[in-house]
Amino acid sequence: MGFEQEWPPRLVELFYLIEEKKVERFLAPSLSKQKNQFESHERLYSCKYFRIFHKTSNKNQIQISISKKFFKLAVERNKIKRQIKEIYRALPDEVLLEGVLVFSVFRPFGELSYGVASSEIAAAFENILKKSLDKV
């Protein structure tokens, strides 16, 4: 003697199409922004630890991009930013470039010691300098 109630059939297809369009409309600007984030920048160097982009500007600046996807804790992200800034300050002046430099850091960089990270960044800037001299 169970009590059963019949529910009217749901219009699942209609609901999903409307929701999908809402989500698509909502995400479209952010997806295009993420895709084009570094498009205006010139990629100077790329390896499994980081990428270096360059954008011409009248002020010399360094920007460091570290994704929360790779480094969940803010402590880790801040540590890596401090390391990169300190390594960049220690580089010789002839290696440094004019304009805005953007570092995009990947997960394996977090496993490097300070010395290895320093040598990787120094090698990257030497490679960039060598490429720029070859172009001229």
- Whether residue 46 is contained in a domain is answered as yes
| Residue 82 pLDDT | 94
State how many domains the chain has.
Answer: 2
- Whether residue 1 is contained in a domain is answered as no
Summarize pLDDT for 17-38 with one digit per residue, the tens: 555 555 555 555 554 454 555 5
* pLDDT (mean) for 69-73: 91
The count of other CB atoms within 10 Å of the CB of residue 130 is: 9
- Whether residue 3 is contained in a domain is answered as no
- Whether residue 89 is contained in a domain is answered as yes
- Whether residue 35 is contained in a domain is answered as yes
CATH number at residue 92: 3.30.230.10
Do 33 and 97 lie in one domain? The reply is no
The one-letter code for the residue type at 65 is S
- Whether residue 124 is contained in a domain is answered as yes
Cβ(107)–Cβ(70) below 8 Å: yes
Do 74 and 95 lie in one domain? The reply is yes
Do 64 and 78 lie in one domain? The reply is yes
Q: Which two tokens stand for residue 45?
A: 């160097």
| Residue 96 pLDDT | 76
Residue 19's domain spans which residues?
11-40
Do 50 and 31 lie in one domain? The reply is no
Contacts of 80 (CB under 8 A, 6+ apart): 64, 66, 71, 105, 109, 110
- pLDDT-above-90 percentage for the chain: 36
Summarize pLDDT for 78-105 with one digit per residue, the tens: 999 999 999 999 988 877 778 888 999 9
- Whether residue 86 is contained in a domain is answered as yes
Alpha-carbon torsion 113, 115, 121, 124, what sign? negative
How many residues are there in the chain?
136
Lowest-pLDDT range of 1-10, 48-57, 59-68, 125-134: 1-10
Q: Cβ-count burial of 35 within 10 angstroms (0-12 exposed, 13-18 middle, 19+ buried)?
A: exposed
Do 129 and 89 lie in one domain? The reply is yes
Do 35 and 101 lie in one domain? The reply is no
pTM for the model stands at 0.67
The counts of H helices and E strands in the chain are 3, 4
- Whether residue 6 is contained in a domain is answered as no
Query: Which residue reads 């205006």 in tokens?
Result: 40
